[in-house]
Amino acid sequence: MKPLKNDTYLRALMRQPTDYTPVWMMRQAGRYLPEYKATRAQAGDFMSLCRNAELACEVTLQPLRRFPLDAAILFSDILTIPDAMGLGLYFETGEGPRFERPVTCAADVQRIGIPDPEGELGYVMNAVRTIRRELQGEVPLIGFSGSPWTLATYMVEGGSSKAFTKIKKMMYAEPQTLHLLLDKLADSVTSYLNAQVAAGAQSLMIFDTWGGVLTPRDYNEFSLQYMAKIVDGLTRESDGRRVPVTLFTKNGGQWLEAIAATGCDAVGLDWTINIADAKRRVGDKVALQGNMDPSMLYASPERIEQEVASILEGFGHGPGHVFNLGHGIHLDVEPEHAGAFIESVHRLSRSYHAG
């Protein structure tokens, strides 16, 4: 395996000095890139793209050919685990993900097994191995999973949701059933992420997209507790290097201290929190990732640059910041605007790292 040429992203996650602030974008491979749409058309549908290691590798590398990004992220989806549990994932055009067999009762939860990462999920590990080989040490590869709570919302709702009534009904009427499901998901996520590290992932991120719809008490009991259990069970070193872990709860700004106390290396921020406040609250306990509003990429390159400057100034001098969007890039953003964003981060951040 070739040695890593650019470790800026890994160093920032460990709060070690860097020359500039590293940057990558959530959902950096995707439909805003015409080359992604072409490869997806070649694969047929989205899951066929995920199951084809060569094509998954191709779309992972596409944004890196356009932009000087400081990390690559595995091209896959968080819903691979529920699919491997037998729920039958499919995508309805324009409707997002759906399950043929959602989880509706205690008996459904009892039937669920822990997927074998090199069995039903072997296609993900093959993608990781292929991407690591093709990256040739240019930048580190991020592996990822959904949080147990976020995966459970899709499994119980049967797809995307706005009000989360089915899973909240389970949470309040049958909490032991939901806890059994979350336990199985935590074990599955732990073995899935450890297998990604064994296959070559150099950093890990857990997406808790829907933790922010919970009350503070329920967030601890039904989401954070399970992410903390996963963090405890993860392989934290590979090839003699630390494998940093980032936790991202969308709309989780009010729980930063609790998230930082799980033992993770970094906390991902959405745009609803001021990064200067976030840094004051977590001190030097963890690194921070974020947090420009993805919709800012609709603005002019000049306006984007101003926003980048303001976020860099908010974080201030010194290491521990990975620049990112506060959530995934929108599918109708001009690729040139993403390029201007990345270039601004690199250029304007140098003065925050001098000396």
List interacting residues with ligand CP3 (CB under 6 A). 26-31, 40, 46, 73, 75, 77-79, 96-97, 144, 160, 207, 209, 328
Of 27, 236, 241, 242, the active-site residue reads 27
Asked if residue 171 lies in contact with residue 60, where contact means CB atoms within 8 angstroms, the answer is: no
For residues 237 and 231, what is the distance between their CA atoms, to the nearest angstrom? 13
Catalytic residue flag (residue 133):
no
Cβ proximity to ligand CP3: between 270 and 305 the closer is: 270
Q: Closest separation between CB of residue 224 and ligand CP3, Å?
A: 17
Q: Helices 148-157 and 175-199, interaxial angle, to 10°?
A: 120
Asked if residue 336 lies in contact with residue 297, where contact means CB atoms within 8 angstroms, the answer is: no
Cite the annotated binding site for substrate by residue number: 27-31, 77, 154, 209, 327
For residue 291, whether the previous peptide bond is cis, meaning omega lies within 30 degrees of 0, is yes
Angle at the Cα of 171 (from 247 to 185), degrees rounded to 5?
Answer: 45
Q: Closest separation between CB of residue 94 and ligand CP3, Å?
A: 8
For residue 191, give both structure tokens. 């073995």
Cβ proximity to ligand CP3: between 47 and 112 the closer is: 47
Cβ proximity to ligand CP3: between 163 and 354 the closer is: 163
Catalytic residue flag (residue 108):
no
Q: Closest separation between CB of residue 333 and ligand CP3, Å?
A: 13
Q: Which long-range contacts (CB under 8 A, 24 or more apart) does 113-118 make?
A: 113/85, 113/184, 114/184, 114/187, 114/188, 114/191, 115/81, 115/84, 115/85, 115/188, 115/192, 117/191, 117/192, 117/194, 117/195, 117/196, 118/195
For residues 324 and 342, what is the distance between their CA atoms, to the nearest angstrom? 9
Asked if residue 49 lies in contact with residue 31, where contact means CB atoms within 8 angstroms, the answer is: no
Of 7, 70, 77, 270, the active-site residue reads 77
Judged by DSSP in three states, 89 sits in strand
Cβ proximity to ligand CP3: between 212 and 301 the closer is: 212
Of 9, 20, 154, 192, the active-site residue reads 154
A 10 A CB-CB count for 305 gives 18
Catalytic residue flag (residue 241):
no
Q: Closest separation between CB of residue 162 and ligand CP3, Å?
A: 12
Judged by DSSP in three states, 68 sits in coil
Cβ proximity to ligand CP3: between 46 and 90 the closer is: 46
Q: Closest separation between CB of residue 210 and ligand CP3, Å?
A: 8
Q: HSE on the CB side for 191, CA within 13 Å?
A: 16
Q: Closest separation between CB of residue 11 and ligand CP3, Å?
A: 21
Cβ proximity to ligand CP3: between 27 and 166 the closer is: 27
Active site members = 27, 31, 40, 77, 154
